């Protein structure tokens, strides 16, 4: 009985010790106000935190090219100011961001296009452009972690409509269940070595 209680306690404590982390350097190429970047990081960080993955945001300084791989960020996200929506209506996330994937399905760099993001946020003013940029960053990091494909539901869907913007404004837009299992596992496998 006493052993059972002890094991139960260990399991209940496990998430606190089990949280994975990954580092993401955000390169503010378009020179957006720092506050915009910080708000986007907070939104993207929330999405990962809800899966017990802590994102450590870094700047885009010399560490990005550090000779020692342990000092380099796990991912680099470049924020660009350009980009336009191809049409009104449900908008392909490809207009708002792009993950650069290697042939083996991995990658460590993505771009997000603040111009297109702001256009969609203006079209459906139910969510802010910083919020939408945060979810676009989370989507592209999702590609870099679990591959190029899109899913019919959740954050890895191919396009966003007003409905998804309303959901993300309430922080209800998340990775789907399978992705919520796959992403922390991938972070542990790929980046757990630095512990
Ligand atoms: Zn995508």
Answer positive or negative: Cα dihedral of 152, 155, 69, 15: negative
Cα(65) to centroid of ligand 1, in Å?
26
Name residues with Cβ closer than 5 Å to ligand 1, which is an ion. Answer: 93
Residue 16, pLDDT score: 47
Residue stretches of the chain with pLDDT short of 70: 1-18, 87-90, 194-195
Cα(107) to centroid of ligand 1, in Å?
13
pLDDT digits (tens, 9 = 90+) for 8-18: 444 444 444 55
* Structural domain boundaries in the chain: 20-194
Residue 46, pLDDT score: 97
CATH number of 20-194: 3.40.390.10
What pTM was computed for the model? 0.88
pLDDT digits (tens, 9 = 90+) for 101-112: 988 888 999 999
Give the β-pairing of 20-27 and 91-92: unpaired
Cα(173) to centroid of ligand 1, in Å?
15
């Amino acid at each position: 009985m006493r052993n059972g209680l002890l094991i139960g306690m260990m399991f209940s404590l496990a998430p606190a010790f089990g949280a994975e982390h990954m580092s993401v350097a955000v390169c503010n190429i378009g020179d957006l106000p720092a506050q915009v970047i910080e708000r986007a990081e907070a939104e993207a960080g929330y999405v990962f935190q809800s899966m017990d993955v802590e994102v450590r945001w870094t700047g885009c300084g010399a560490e990005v090219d550090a000779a020692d791989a342990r000092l380099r960020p796990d991912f680099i996200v470049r924020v660009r100011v350009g980009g336009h929506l191809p049409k009104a209506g449900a908008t392909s996330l490809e207009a708002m961001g792009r993950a650069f994937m290697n042939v083996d399905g991995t990658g460590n760099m993505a771009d997000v296009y603040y111009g297109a993001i702001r256009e969609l946020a203006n079209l459906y003013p139910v969510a802010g452009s910083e919020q939408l940029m945060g979810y676009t960053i989370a989507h592209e990091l999702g590609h870099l972690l679990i591959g190029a494909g899109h899913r019919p539901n959740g954050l890895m869907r191919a396009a966003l409509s007003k409905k998804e913007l309303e959901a993300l404004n309430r922080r209800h837009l998340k990775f789907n269940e399978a992705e919520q299992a796959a992403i922390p596992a991938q972070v542990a496998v790929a980046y757990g070595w630095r512990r």
